[in-house]
Amino acid sequence: MIRVHLTITGKVQGVFFRKHTVEKAVDLGHLAGFVANEADGSVTVVAEGPENKINALIDWCHSGPSTAEVKKVQVEHEPYSGEFETFEVRY
């Protein structure tokens, strides 16, 4: 099990990026964490789960929903904590 902290920049707010990220995480299964909009216009994702599922989520974040225009996905690996039970939107 691994944990990543993603910062996604581009046209990623106002395009249902958070909603679609939750849907993707649920579809992939066995992922927990959150997605949130940031004041600077970026989106943050913190996700924990099996490495292959995390990698699939990262790959998806590089394009996001069809309405998004992702410019960059910064990936930081963090120690796995097991603190999350679900994957959700944080406000």
d(CA 64, CA 48): 18
Q: Which residues are catalytic?
A: 18, 37
Give the 3-state secondary structure of the chain: CEEEEEEEEEECCCCCHHHHHHHHHHHHCCCEEEEEECCCCCEEEEEEECHHHHHHHHHHHCCCCCCCEEEEEEEEEECCCCCCCCEEEEC
